Amino acid sequence: MINVDTVYKTVLLILNQQQRGYMTPDEFNKVATQVQQNIFERYEDDLNQMYRVPQNDTEYANRVKNIEQNLQYFQRTGTTTGTNPFTLVPGNTNIIGVATTDIIYRLGSIIYQDTELTQYAQRNELMQILKSPLTQPTKSFPIYLYENNLVYVYPTTIINSAGELITFSYLKTPADVVWGFGVGSLGQFEYNAGLSVNFELNVSEQSNVIIQEISIKV
């Protein structure tokens, strides 16, 4: 993770050196959260592009592996029980000492009774799939529909009773960045680690974060 206090103080120092004014904690928190989200969302596109080009075998310069490592903190698994359709219940992330339920950014694999549901169907094609004898899902080759945080598993006959188990992987949405503070005796802002939320990005992104923060400040 990237320490939020380090980034904020560096940003203030550079802004001062460049005579570009001051960034309040509230401004910083909003900009920092957006910068983190932008960098996080870029990983998917970068990863898709890197899959298309040859990679070297050196230990630390494999670009695909490096991007995957940047994503690893956001990779989570959840387990939920119930009946078909299943409500996906993600795990929790500890934020300022509080267990906060993750927000699912991207759904990954879905596993039902040790079988990975590999075929995803959209609502507009589901009826055609279910009606055709050639494409109907079976217990060996199930399909699923995912919408409104519900997973519909087909064929429905493979769901025997309440309490069935679904395991799924997902990318969680990054938590909002917060530079928490108190007010000192002279009215100055004083950093409070207990009220702060660090960047969830890999520390290798620290320079990139600072540069983007500066570029957004007008």
pLDDT in tens, 72-126: 889 898 887 677 788 888 888 888 888 999 998 988 888 877 777 777 777 777 7
Do residues 36 and 178 touch, judged by C-beta distance below 8 A? no
This prediction's pTM: 0.81
Bridge partners for 191 per DSSP: 181
**Domain of 124?**
4-216
- Range in 17-21, 32-36, 136-140 with the lowest mean pLDDT: 136-140
Q: What is the structure's pLDDT at 86?
A: 82
More confident residue, 108 or 63: 108
Q: Structurally, how many domains does the chain consist of? A: 1
Average pLDDT over residues 37-66: 71
The whole-number average pLDDT for the span 138-149 is: 81
Q: How far is CA 114 from CA 80, 122, 165, in A?
A: 14, 23, 10
User: Pairing relation of β-strands 143-147 and 75-82?
Assistant: unpaired
Which residue's entry shows tokens 């596109």?
45
Question: What pLDDT sits at residue 218?
Answer: 60
Confidence of residue 137 (pLDDT cuts 50, 70, 90): confident
Confidence of residue 217 (pLDDT cuts 50, 70, 90): low
